[in-house]
Amino acid sequence: MTNGKTSERLYQDVARSLVEELAAGRFPVGTRLPAERELALRFDVSRPTVREAMIALEVQGFVEVRLGSGAYVLRLPNEGDRPGFDVSAFELTEARLLFEGEAAALAATQITDEELTEVARLVDDIAQENNDPAGTERADREFHLAIARATRNSAIYNAIEQLWDLRQTSPEAALLHSKARTANVKPVVEEHCAVLDALRSRDANAARAAMRAHLAAVLDGLLFATEEQALAQARRATQAKRERYTRATA
Amino acid sequence: MTNGKTSERLYQDVARSLVEELAAGRFPVGTRLPAERELALRFDVSRPTVREAMIALEVQGFVEVRLGSGAYVLRLPNEGDRPGFDVSAFELTEARLLFEGEAAALAATQITDEELTEVARLVDDIAQENNDPAGTERADREFHLAIARATRNSAIYNAIEQLWDLRQTSPEAALLHSKARTANVKPVVEEHCAVLDALRSRDANAARAAMRAHLAAVLDGLLFATEEQALAQARRATQAKRERYTRATA
DNA sequence: CTCGTTTTTTGGTAATACCAATTTTCAAAA
DNA sequence: TTTTGAAAATTGGTATTACCAAAAAACGAG
C-alpha cells in the first residue's frame, strides 16, 4: 500500500510498514494500533499474517498486546532498530578498545581468585587451539567475556557481549576479523597474558593499558588485512582511518 | 511437556520451551529444528501458534527459517536473552560512567561545529524544561546521545543508546532515576555545560573527566535517593556500594 | 553410478470459526 | 439526572482446514 518494497515474507512487510508508521509518529506512545482485522483489510493480508507481524513488534518491545483491548505502543523505534544497521570491523574494534579497556580496569578491582584461574585457563585454551580457527574465536570470546563478567556489572557485561554478537551481523566484518586473526595468533596470546598479569596484580591502570594495547594491535591487524586486498583508492581511505584510530588510541 | 509453566500466551510458552532447549544444547548451531507440524503435535498446539513462536525466535535472531527446508539454528541464547534480566540503576550508571566517559573523549576529537551547536542547544533545552520531568528526561537523553553520535562510531552510539533503553526495562530503576533527578536539575545543567566546554576546546581528557564527574554526581544522587527510603540493613549495603563506586571513579 | 524426474516434506498464506476478555452501549433504577 | 448493571459489540487468542510454492528426498532411467 504505502510501500512497494516486498520481501520474501509477508509478515515482514507488514511489520516493516508498521515500524515505519511508528517512526513517522503516526502512533504516539500509549496509543492503540488499529485492530488486527482492520489491519488485515488495510494491508490486504490474512489475519494470521497480521498476527505474525504483531508478534514481531511485540518481541522487539514496540507494542504491548492486551487481550480484548488491542495493541498499545510502548516505545518508538530508534536508530539501532532500523534495518541496514551494520557496523564495520573498525568501528566494532574501536568500541571494544574503549569499553573493554574500562571494563578491564574495573575488573582488576573486583576479580576473585577463582575468576583469575578461569581467565588463565582461557588464555591457555586459545594457545592450544591455534590450529582450529573456530575454536580460537570461541576461546577468544570467552576470555573477553570472562573479564567483563568479573566487573560484577550486568550492564557492562551485556553491552560487551552484544558488541561481540554484532560481529556476526555483518558477514564482511566476520570474514575480515577471522582473516586478521589467523596471522596474529601468537601475539594475541602474549597480549592476553599481559592483561592477565595486570588483573593478577589488581592494577586497574595496567589492566586498562594492556587491554587497550591488545585491541590496538587487533585494530592494526584489521588495517593490514584490509590493505592487503585494497586498491590504491581504498588505501587512501585506510590511511585516513589509521590516522584517526591512532589518534584515538594515544 | 518439559515445563509446566504457563503464561497468558501460548506462543510464548512454545518459544520459551524452544529457547530452553536451545540453551540446553539440544539443537546445536546449524542444525534444523523439527518441522512446524511436528512441533504442533509435540506441544499440542495448532500450527499457527507454532509459527508465532517461530517468528519470535526468528526476530530474536535465534533461527533462520528457510522456505521448504526448515528452521535452522543461527545462535544460542546467552545471558542477556534469558528472562529476569534487569540491571540495577547503579550498574547502569556505572556502565554509563565508564562508556560515556570514553565516548566523550573520542567525540572531542571528532565533533564538528554543527554538532557543537546542536549539543549546546540541548543543554539549553534541559535548562528550559526544568518543570516538566518527562521533557527533562528526554532532553537529557538527547544530550548524551548527541555526544555518542559525534564519535562517528555506530557501534559506540548503539551501545550507549541501548544502555539508555535498559532504564525502561526495569520499573524500579526508572522510578529511582526520576526521583534522583528531580532534586538535582541545576547541578546537571552545570555539569552538562562543563562537558560542552571540554568538547568545544577539543580536549579529550577534559571531556572524559567532565563526563565522568557528571555521571559520578548522578551516581551520588542515586545513592542518596536510595538512602532516603532505606532501612538500616539496606544502608550497610549502600555503604559498600559507595565504597566500590568511588573506588571505580577514582 | 549418475543424472533427471517424480514424490514427499516443509514452510507461506488464506479463510473460517469459536472462545474469552474487554470495552462500549444503553436501558433500568435510584 | 446520575448511577448502575446487564447486554451487545469489539478485540485478541486459538484451532482447523486447505492449498500453494519451494526445497529435499526418493526413485527410476540411462
Residue A142: inside a domain? yes
Are residue A218 and residue A114 in the same domain, yes or no?
A: yes
Are residue B69 and residue B97 in the same domain, yes or no?
A: no
List chain B pLDDT tens, one digit each, 250 residues. 444 567 789 999 999 999 999 999 999 999 999 999 999 999 999 999 999 999 999 999 999 999 999 999 998 887 666 655 667 888 999 999 999 999 999 999 999 999 999 999 999 988 887 667 777 888 899 999 999 999 999 999 999 998 998 887 776 777 788 777 776 777 889 999 999 999 999 999 999 999 999 999 999 888 887 766 554 444 456 566 666 665 555 5
Instruction: Say whether B87 and A154 touch across the interface (CB within 8 A).
Output: yes
Residues of A within 8 A of B162 (CB-CB) are: 80, 159, 162
Residues of A within 8 A of B91 (CB-CB) are: 153-156
Contact between residue A42 and residue A3 where contact means Cβ atoms under 8 Å apart: no
Instruction: Say whether A55 and B55 touch across the interface (CB within 8 A).
Output: yes
Residue A1: inside a domain? no
Structural domain that includes position B205: 89-249
C-alpha cell at A174: 566476520
Are residue A143 and residue A189 in the same domain, yes or no?
A: yes
Of A56, A94, A156, the CB nearest to B55: A56
Q: Is the CB of A43 under 7 A from strand C?
A: no
A residues 50-79 lying closer than 8 A (beta carbon) to B = 51-52, 55-56, 59-60, 67, 75, 78-79
Residue B1: inside a domain? no
Residue A170: inside a domain? yes
Are residue A190 and residue A111 in the same domain, yes or no?
A: yes
Are residue A121 and residue A139 in the same domain, yes or no?
A: yes
How high is the pLDDT of residue A175? 77
- What is the tally of structural domains in chain A? 2
Are residue B140 and residue B227 in the same domain, yes or no?
A: yes
**Is some CB atom of chain A closer than 8 A to the CB atom of B161?**
yes
Q: What are phi and psi of B207, to 5 degrees?
A: -65, -45
Instruction: Say whether B153 and A94 touch across the interface (CB within 8 A).
Output: yes
Are residue B159 and residue B238 in the same domain, yes or no?
A: yes
Are residue B157 and residue B234 in the same domain, yes or no?
A: yes
Domain boundary among B31, B59, B81: B81
Q: What is the pLDDT of residues A139-175, one digit of tens each?
A: 899 999 999 999 999 999 999 998 988 887 776 777 7
Residue A116: inside a domain? yes
**Is some CB atom of chain B closer than 8 A to the CB atom of A91?**
yes
Domain boundary among B63, B81, B99: B81
**Is some CB atom of chain A closer than 8 A to the CB atom of B184?**
no
Domain boundary among A60, A81, A102: A81
Half-sphere exposure of A120 (CA within 13 A, CB side): 11
Residue A217: inside a domain? yes
Are residue B190 and residue B232 in the same domain, yes or no?
A: yes
Are residue A58 and residue A139 in the same domain, yes or no?
A: no
Are residue A227 and residue A198 in the same domain, yes or no?
A: yes
CATH number at residue A142: 1.20.120.530
Instruction: Say whether A153 and B94 touch across the interface (CB within 8 A).
Output: yes
Residues 6 or more apart whose CB falls under 8 angstroms from that of B122 comprise B139, B142, B143, B146
Are residue A172 and residue A74 in the same domain, yes or no?
A: no
Q: Indicate whether this complex's ipTM tops 0.85.
A: no
Given a cut of 50, whether residue A2 has pLDDT beyond it is no
Strand C: which nucleotides have any atom within 7 A of a protein Cβ?
9-17, 20-23
Q: Is the CB of A70 under 7 A from strand D?
A: yes
Contact between residue B2 and residue B17 where contact means Cβ atoms under 8 Å apart: yes
| Interface residue of A46, A69, A156 to substitute, partner B, most B CBs within 10 Å | A156
Residue in chain A nearest B165 by alpha carbon: A75
CATH number at residue B34: 1.10.10.10
Q: What is the pLDDT of residues A38-56, one digit of tens each?
A: 999 999 999 999 999 999 9
